[in-house]
Amino acid sequence: MTKLYEGMYLVDNDVVREDWNKAKALVTGAVEKHGGKVVTARRWDERRLTYKIAGRRRATYLLAYFEIDEGALPAMTRDLELNEHVLRYLQLAVEKVPETEFELSEAETSAEFSVPEPPGDDYVEEETAPQPEEAARPPASEEAPAAAEGDPAPAPEGDGASETPEAETPQAEAAETEAAETETENTEGEPVAAQED
């Protein structure tokens, strides 16, 4: 039974530099060899890899939609695994090809289209600098949200001399609550009024 698949393939940039159509044929040729039909195939992007694959730090992504018999898919996949220029792939069965794929694939076949030459393997894109910590804080003019009932009151501003509450940590608060509950229960587990000294 013929099914529609979406495939994303990492192609070695050395082949892409030689000829994009040759690089694309690594995948489309494998599909056709095993009786499949390529619906669309296009360059998706060129990116730095998270980790080295076959000694490469960068690769070009090829996105393809194709129809192939389910029984022929394993043989096609085996051909891709044996091809040293197809670094990785992911193939999923899908219901239909997105409309935009037809337009993007058509644009790639036009005479005006040219594939940008992939950068060298050691090329690293500029990363955006992290935001300073001050930018993450709210402005001083904004007031802090009102404390919920039962929350401890905020410490007063001033000379720094303030009373410290008895329970400074959640563990200490939990221990105090547990002690109070134990005091108020009798042997049958029913609450009774706590006695004051």
* Segments in the chain forming alpha helices (H): 13-18, 20-33, 73-82, 99-109, 133-136, 170-183
Residue 1 pLDDT: 86
In angstroms, what CA-CA distances link 169 with 104, 128, 174? 59, 38, 9
Q: What is the CATH number of the domain that holds 95?
A: 3.30.70.60
Domain count for the chain: 1
Residue 163 pLDDT: 47
Residue 159 domain-assigned (yes or no): no
Residue 29 domain-assigned (yes or no): yes
Residue 34 domain-assigned (yes or no): yes
Residue 91 domain-assigned (yes or no): yes
Residue 185 domain-assigned (yes or no): no
For each of the chain's 197 residues, which pLDDT tens digit applies? 899 999 999 999 889 888 888 999 999 999 999 999 999 999 898 888 888 888 888 999 999 999 999 999 999 999 999 999 999 999 999 999 998 988 888 877 766 666 766 756 666 666 655 555 655 555 555 555 555 555 555 555 555 444 444 445 555 565 565 555 544 444 444 454 555 54
69-90 CB burial, b ≥16 within 10 A, e <16:
eeeebeebeebbeebebbbebe
Residue 55 domain-assigned (yes or no): yes
**Torsion angles phi and psi, residue 173, rounded to 5:** -60, -40
Residue owning tokens 């489309």: 28
Residue 169 domain-assigned (yes or no): no
Rounded-to-5 percentages of helix, strand, coil across the chain? 30, 25, 45
Rounded to two decimals, what is the model's pTM?
A: 0.59
Residue 163 domain-assigned (yes or no): no
Max distance between CA atoms of the chain, in angstroms, equals 95
Residues 6 or more apart whose Cβ sits within 8 Å of residue 83: 26, 30
Domain containing 98: what range?
Answer: 2-109
DSSP, residue by residue, 10-25: EEEHHHHHH-HHHHHH
